[in-house]
Amino acid sequence: MALPPLAESFVGLATNAMTSNEDLVDSTEYISLFPHFHSKIQAAMLLSGIVYNWKPPSEQRLMLSYNEIPIEGLFVCTTKKCNLRRWHSCSVLMIICIYEGYYYDVAIWHQKCKICRNWGRPLPVETSYVQKVVFQLMVWNNIPVKAPPRRRSHHTTNPHLEYLCAVCLLGKRCRAAEEARRKGVTATTL
């Protein structure tokens, strides 16, 4: 089983599925992990009878499946020039992976700041993150579950800015870019 298109950039080994995303934490320029949400996910999954554990990046496990899911969140630019500038998105891309032994992990891609072009750090909306992860874990376990609502706002009508998107800049498949091209609303350069 080959690694998923986005996961290969996390682990850096495009042909070996028996690896963890060890390089994920080292790639802090492009992605972030949020293991502190794990207790909320465990609580939400309690009634299902299925218990998942958060897979630490250093732990080697066989990846069984993955999915790329948009969630709602903010990005924060931490440069002095931008003075903690924040921007909102309803299409913050996360990738969730499940591994042997009921383990999972989730990574969220960064975006570049429009002003200074440094990487902005993601701050996912907790409810969006937890709902989407729980939904995906339930689906993978064939447990009937209603899909979480996808928030629609004015932010999602803006063109996808490929020159600010980590996924696009790394040359990976970006669903937001594909959708924007399909709709004819892509802005690829300034």
- Three-state SS sequence of 90-147: EEEEEEEEEECCCEEEEEEECEECCCCCCEEEEEECHHHHHHHHHHHHHHHCCCCCCC
User: Alpha-carbon torsion 5, 93, 9, 164, what sign?
Assistant: positive
Whether 180 is in a domain gets the answer no
Judge whether 174 lies within some domain.
Answer: no
Location of structure tokens 């990846």: 63
CA distance 21 to 173: 18
Residue 119 lies in a domain: yes
Instruction: Quote the domain boundaries for residue 66.
Output: 25-157
Residue 39 has pLDDT above 90, yes or no: yes
Q: Is the pTM of this model over 0.85?
A: no
Residue (of 168, 20, 23) closest to 93 by Cα position: 168
30 assigned to some structural domain: yes
How many domains does the chain fold into?
1
The verdict on residue 188 lying in a domain is no
**6 belongs to a structural domain:** no
- Structure confidence by residue, pLDDT tens digits, 68-121: 888 889 999 988 888 888 888 887 889 999 999 999 999 998 888 888 988 888
Residue 103 has a pLDDT of 97
146 falls within a domain: yes
pLDDT confidence of residue 28: 56
Q: Is residue 186 assigned to a domain?
A: no
